[in-house]
Amino acid sequence: MTDQIADHYGRLAATYDDHWAYDPEYVRAFTRAMSGALRLHPGDAIVDVGCGTGLYTRQLADDVAPLRPIVCVDPSAAMLDRIPASPSLRPVLASAEDVATGRVSLPVPGPVDAVLVKEAIHHVSDRAATLRGLAGLLSDHGRLLVVMLPTTIPHPLFAAAHERFEQLQPDPTEIREALVAAGLRTSLTHRTFHVAIDRERYVRMLESRYMSVLGEFSEDELAEGIAQFRHAYREDPVLRFDDHFVFLRGSVPPA
Ligand SMILES: C[S@@+](CC[C@H](N)C(=O)[O-])C[C@H]1O[C@@H](n2cnc3c(N)ncnc32)[C@H](O)[C@@H]1O
């Protein structure tokens, strides 16, 4: 993890969950979509890589009631510290690369049945090698799900933030190719979650740089972007947009 990303999440950790707490149904619906795609059941050994504060992992644990704790992997101590103490969640301070290369061993006795990587793959530098390493941890019926934004998004960001996002966000087809190269059977589907959010709440989210792309801008550039945002949405006290996600599922093929 670069220093810039570490600083970004170090600052964001305390408010991360609040940004989405206004709509618990968003987190519930999103989590249902992920556990459905991964076909999770209580006997699975589950790992959430880049779990952040565990906002979604907690919901997964509530929904699936796993017999063993879900392993929550994240390289940001600040994010990981927000995970509540729970017998269903086992935090591990590590990056996806650490786990994929075996530099950090997972606290599970055998292979893993399900790996989730939600909105973290863009932070991984060697994505093909890391996904290959993660796929290598899977059991003979193992599944891996990468959840990511597409390269263009309808979020009400300012123009420079959209441009920067498009430059930085990896192409989902690159991730799919990496999963295929890792020997997994893959599927790529699109999921949409509707967002309705008060404009002033969204301003606070922009101010706190709730998306890592906003960390690319200086204080002055961000203030200018927010001024442009306020002007563009001056007639809209509530912002409504469709949040599109790509779900890339890989599964171990039958022997
Ligand atoms: C946008 S947050 C997503 C957190 C969580 N998955 C969620 O959806 O709420 C991205 C997370 O990826 C983590 N991260 C950054 N670099 C990473 C890496 N190399 N390997 C795994 N996670 C990483 C960050 O610390 C952060 O917690």
- Cα(51) to centroid of ligand 1, in Å? 6
Residue 135, token pair as written in the block: 């796929």
Taking the chain, what is the end-to-end CA distance rounded to the nearest angstrom?
A: 36
User: With bands split at pLDDT 50, 70 and 90, how would you rate the model's confidence at 22?
Assistant: low
pLDDT, tens only, 98-129 = 999 999 999 999 999 999 999 999 999 999 99
Q: Residue 36's domain is classified under what CATH number?
A: 3.40.50.150
Residue whose Cα lies nearest atom 23 of ligand 1: it is: 50
Ligand 1 atom nearest residue 50's Cα: 22
Task: Give the CA distances from residue 60 to residues 30, 106, 123, 165, in Å, rounded to whole numbers and listed in that order.
Answer: 10, 19, 23, 28
Task: Give a yes or no: residue 233 inside a domain.
Answer: no
Q: What is the distance in A from the centroid of ligand 1 to the CA of 120?
A: 4
| Shortest-distance Cα residue to atom 14 of ligand 1 | 50
Residues 6+ apart with CB under 8 A from 83: 51, 53, 54, 57, 58, 72, 89, 91
Residue-wise pLDDT tens digits, 44-80: 999 999 999 999 999 999 999 999 999 999 999 999 9
Domain assignment of residue 42, yes or no:
yes
Kindly state whether residue 55 falls inside one of the protein's structural domains. yes
The protein residue whose alpha carbon is closest to atom 10 in ligand 1 is: 120
Per DSSP, the residues of 93-134 read: E--HHHHHHTSS--S-SS-EEEEEEES-GGG-SSHHHHHHHH
* 74 assigned to some structural domain: yes
What residues flank ligand 1, with Cβ below 6 Å?
1, 5, 9, 49-52, 55-56, 74-76, 79, 95-97, 118-120, 123-124
Domain that holds residue 113: 3-196+242-251
The domain tally of the chain equals 1
